[in-house]
Amino acid sequence: MKPVNIVHLFPELLNLYGDGGNVMALRRRCEWRGIPVQVSEVGMGDAMDFAHADIVFIGGGADREQLIVKDAMMGHKAELQSYVADGGVLLAVCGGYQFLGHRYVMGEESVEGLGIVDMETVRGEGRLIGNAVIESDIASMPIVGFENHGGRTTLGSGVKPLGRVLGATHGNNGEDGLEGVHQGNLVGTYLHGPLLPKNPQVADYLIARALERRGDSCELAPLDDAVENEANRVMASRLGVL
Ligand code: GLN
So what's the pLDDT on residue 163? 98
How far does the centroid of ligand 1 lie from the alpha carbon of residue 150, in Å? 6
So what's the pLDDT on residue 134? 98
| Ligand 1 atom nearest residue 151's Cα | 10
Listed residue (166, 177, 173) closest to 239, CA to CA: 166
Dihedral sign, Cα of residue 183, residue 56, residue 153, residue 146: positive
Q: Is the CB of 63 under 6 A from ligand 1?
A: yes
The number of beta carbons lying within 10 Å of the beta carbon of residue 160 is 14
pLDDT by residue for the chain (242 residues), tens only, comes to 899 999 999 999 999 999 999 999 999 999 999 999 999 999 998 988 899 999 999 999 999 999 999 999 999 999 999 999 999 999 999 999 999 999 999 999 999 999 999 999 999 999 999 999 999 999 999 999 999 999 999 999 999 999 999 999 999 999 999 999 999 999 999 999 999 999 999 999 999 999 999 999 989 999 999 999 999 999 999 999 98
Q: Is the CB of 95 under 6 A from ligand 1?
A: yes
Query: Is residue 235 a contact partner of residue 227, using CB atoms and an 8 Å limit?
Result: no
Distance, CA of 124 to CA of 188 (rounded, Å): 20
Q: Counting beta carbons within 10 angstroms of the beta carbon of residue 54, is it exposed (0 to 12), middle (13 to 18) or buried (19 or more)?
A: buried
So what's the pLDDT on residue 48? 86
DSSP percent split of the chain into helix, strand, coil, nearest 5 = 30, 30, 40
Q: Strand (E) positions, 156-230?
A: 163-165, 178-179, 181-183, 186-189
Q: Is the CB of 80 under 6 A from ligand 1?
A: no
How far does the centroid of ligand 1 lie from the alpha carbon of residue 141, in Å? 26
Q: Is the CB of 60 under 6 A from ligand 1?
A: yes
Query: Is residue 76 a contact partner of residue 131, using CB atoms and an 8 Å limit?
Result: no
Q: Supply the pTM of this predicted model.
A: 0.98
